[in-house]
Structure 1
Amino acid sequence: MGIQGKANLSVGWITLFLMGTDLFVVSPLLPFISETYKVSPETTGWMVTVFAVTYAFSAPFFGWLSDKKGRRTIITFGLLLFAISNVLTAFASSFLWLIVSRILAGLSVASVTPLIYAIIGDIAPPKRRGTWLSIVVSGHLTALWAGAPFGTILEYFLSWRSVFVVMATIGAILAVVNFKTWESIPKSDSTRKLVEGNMLRILGSVSVTTIWAISMYALYVYLGAALYSENRFSSSEIALAITFYGVGAVLGGLTSGKLTDKFGEKKVSNATLIFLTLILICLGLFFSSGGWVYFLLFIWALVGYAGFTSYQARLVVEYPKERGIVMAWNNTALYIGITIGSMIGGYVISIWGYSLLPYVCSIAAVASFVLSTQKVNNQKKDQLFQ
């Protein structure tokens, strides 16, 4: 890997780390924001909801636009909007303006995150594409266990508003850095309209990510409450468990890249879904086993996010001329899966309790595997017909 390649990956990693931090840092800050604006915690939670909904609906548009106008312009615009939206969040005079600022933040992140994946897929050497994608994905995943705690520490010494001021400042700097970094990257040469069967094929492909997200987040959303209920974990023990999960997610994403480059995207993505099913069953059997749960959470995240990273690489290979829109739709599918997963998890808890959640997630993992292999079979038939 040359100096230019390392520079590109570094910029991509840092940018995705910032985008992930903006996503994950809000949750631990909600109590302080709620107190500032004198609203209930449930109402404050709309900050997360409007962000996620805006992201899910706007990401495909930015992906399509980047395939037409070039990724560099859209990424730079997104980072400038990111800086503006976080300044508005920091200094919002009312809760209504706070919600407006988070809608703008959702737009900004939707115009950056999937396009970083796409542009790395554009420039990566074909035999190293899996490794390159796994590196930048690890930036987003690192925010899961490092970005959010850093924001919490910053709030402790200064205020919750300072967290968003810092992110806005870094976003403005990264707008300039990204504009210079992707200067020599040519625009996509795709002029095909994504209509008729091609769009249906894309939606079928990204639906695998939706089911995968259900298998991960139906339990993860309620993980803290489940650990307290089933194991009587203290707050520090829950934090340690989340750390094990976060480290497993980062390592899974990184190791997946090399495995993908060696064995191929389809083999690795399908194999990880099989192992994910087995791990979730084991997690269900030994969830109340005390210390063993740390190890199981680590393995769960390791296998789960290895599958997510390899599937991203698979989509990049299968859609070489529509990477922008495919990565955008894949991120939308991810958010839809997270939302559905949280709803399913809440329903399961209300009727059967926490102990059944890992088994429900394992069923989703099996469904994702079946859908993934079915997609491969359909592609082989299409190629044979052609």
Structure 2
Amino acid sequence: MITFRARSLLLLAIAAFASSASMRICDPLLPEFVQAFGVTEGSASWVISAFSIAYGSLQILYGPAGDRHGKYRVVAIVTTVCAVATLAAALAPTFTWLVIARTAVGASAAAIIPMSMAWIGDSVPYERRQTTLARLLTGQILGVIAGQILGGFFADTFGWRWCFAVLAAVFCTAAALLWRQLVGAPPVPLPDPVHRRTPLAGALAVLKSKRAQCILAIVFLEGMAVYGPFAFVPSYLHTQFHTPLTAAGLIAGTYGLGGLLYSLAVTRLLKRIGERGFALAGGVILGIGFLAYATAPGWAWALPAGALTGLGFYMLHNTLQTHATQMLPERRGTAVSIFVSAFFLGQSAGTAITGPLIGVTGFTAPFVAAALILPCAGLWLAAISSPRTSSPAPRPDHHDRNGQSKQVPA
């Protein structure tokens, strides 16, 4: 029989699936919006930009709320809001309405993954945390893949409104099941003194930690070096090898296959090479993947390059996620929110730097730079990691049904 904790994790993975799908579902729908509302392609892209801006800028606000009121409860609330906002997008009578609805989805979906990570940090002992986070990661990866596939399918068949309607149904189902987990839970206890501090005090406590500073610097560097160049892979394939853009997007999608391979092999690999080995191997594999892009004699090389990049990224990033849940256990929600914000800012900085750099040097230089930077990031993380999967830190808390933490016996 499935345990309460396992069922709770499954529901968080479903919510993460919907959140990730909502992030990518509009990519293939832009021509539909142009035709439906009579706007330009540039204007239509605001459906994506509004979501991304809200998603990235509001992550940090949810950490203190999770620390104070319970991470699981916050996920249930925002998943409900996502269901309503996505349904509003499906019913949008004007383009402005659609952009506002997508902004609301991005603002609420921003909490799902960081608060789920923080809940896992409270509920799962450190030595099992990386494999548990990998299960949540599987929901994210499948969501990214499903979002692009569903968007393309509905664009060619039933239309964009039905696309949002189906996604709203997924959010609604996840929200209903999450709330069911909370039914009958005892009242939320008053927060302890550390949680009664202001959100700013909590954020400053995280930022003063030397270990947290290292983790945040590495994840910013990772986001910049991976997603800056990788965002231009389809353009690279189209420009260098005259690959149609649709095919170029599918080729770049082998990145997701690398992530799925990681989620299937994580338990076995972690036992074999440990946390430090994951950090080192992830950085090196990422370097090999980007070097393959830089030296590719034809588009076919991008297939294994994408898979290697995905595998290496999730080995490195999942190790960083595990460290993030232990940066400051007493302010875990705040710490994880800052971690996700640093990663998102790194992605934004990477894209902003890589675009102009390509205009000056071409595509090769950014790929080579990533191939040099990412192994260094892996080496840095390995230097502060345990050679095993255990942690000297205090044993983590377990969450009860209302999302608050309580100590459980070993």
**TM class, shorter-length:** 0.7 to 0.9
Q: Does 1:300 align with 2:309?
A: yes
Q: Which residue of 2 aligns with 1:198?
A: 206
Structure 2 partner of 1:250: 260
Tell me how far 1:45 sits from its aligned partner: 1.4
Give the distance between the partners of 1:195 and 1:148, measured in 2 at CA.
35
Alpha-carbon displacement from aligned partner over 1:42-73 (angstroms, at most 9, x marks no partner): 12212222222212221111111101111132
- The alpha-carbon distance between structure 1 residues 364 and 50, as it changes in their structure 2 partners (threshold 3 A), is farther
Is 1:315 the counterpart of 2:320? The answer is no
2:254 maps to a residue whose letter is F
Q: Which residue of 1 aligns with 2:237?
A: 227
Tell me if structure 2 keeps the 8 A contact 1:280–1:361: yes
Conserved 8 A contact 1:253-1:302: no
Closer/same/farther in 2, CA of residues 71 and 245 from structure 1, 3 Å limit = same
Q: What percent of counterpart residues are identical?
A: 20
Which deviates more from structure 2 when the two are superposed, residues 45-54 or residues 20-29?
45-54
Which residue of 1 is the match for residue 405 of structure 2?
A: none
The structure carrying a bigger helix percent of its residues is 1
Alpha carbons 2:215, 2:323 under 8 Å: kept: no
Match of 1:342 in 2: 351
Give, in whole Å, the separation in 2 of the partners of 1:40 and 1:203: 43
8 Å CA contact 1:215–1:363 kept in 2: the answer is no
- SS of 1:321's equivalent in the other structure is helix
Shift of 1:181: 2.6
In the alignment, structure 2 segments of 5+ residues that lack a partner are 387-391, 393-410
Q: Deviations over 1:266-289 (max 9, x none)?
A: 44224422332243223312x233
Deviation sequence 1:77-117 (CA, Å, 0-9, x none): 10111012112212222222222112211111012221112
Assess, with a 3 A threshold, how the Cα gap between structure 1 residues 136 and 197 changes in structure 2: closer, same or farther: closer
Question: Could you report, residue by residue, the CA deviation over 1:267-324 in whole angstroms, capped at 9, with x for unpaired residues?
Answer: 4224422332243223312x23342321122111111122111210122133322221
Q: Which of these residues, 349, 356, 377, is aligned with residue 368 of structure 1?
A: 377
Cα shift at 1:354: 2.0
How far does the alpha carbon of each residue in 1:220-266 deviate from its partner, in whole angstroms, 9 at most, with x for none? 21211111222222356424413322111222244345544665444
Give a deviation string over 1:325-378, Cα, whole Å, max 9, x none.
Answer: 22222222222122122222211221122233311222442563466468679x
Q: Distance in 2 between matches of 1:338 and 1:35?
A: 31
How many equivalent pairs are there? 377
CA distance in 1, matches of 2:256, 2:300: 17
> What are the equivalent positions in structure 2 for 1:1-386 lying under 5 Å apart?
3-181=3-181, 191=195, 193-194=201-202, 196=204, 198-201=206-209, 202=212, 204-235=214-245, 237-256=247-266, 258-260=268-270, 263-285=273-295, 287-366=296-375, 368-369=377-378, 372=381
Distance in 1, Cα, partners of 2:73 & 2:9: 18
| CA distance in structure 2 between the aligned counterparts of 1:334 and 1:131, rounded to whole angstroms | 21
For 1:173 and 1:374, the matched residues in 2 are separated by 43
Query: Residue type matched to 1:298 in 2?
Result: A
The alpha-carbon distance between structure 1 residues 24 and 153, as it changes in their structure 2 partners (threshold 3 A), is same
Relative to 1, partners in 2 of residues 1:321 and 1:336: Cα closer, same or farther, differing over 3 Å? Answer: same
SS of the aligned residue for 2:325 comes to: helix
CA shift, 1:219, in A, is 2.2
> Partners of 2:33 and 2:314 in 1: how far apart?
31
1:54–1:364 distance in 2 versus 1, CA, 3 Å: farther
Query: Could you say if the C-alpha distance between residues 323 and 197 of structure 1 is closer, same or farther in structure 2, counting changes exceeding 3 Å?
Result: closer
TM value normalised by structure 2: 0.83
Contiguous gaps of at least 5 residues in structure 1: 378-382
**TM-score where L is the length of structure 1:** 0.88
- Letter aligned with residue 157 of structure 1: T
Aligned CA-pair RMSD: 2.8
Q: Output one character per residue of 1:205-228: Cα deviation in whole Å (capped at 9) or x when no partner.
A: 223212111222122212111112
Distance 1:21 1:147 in 2: 4
Structure 2 CA distance for partners of 1:12 and 1:254, relative to 1, 3 Å: farther
CA distance in 2, matches of 1:26, 1:357: 27
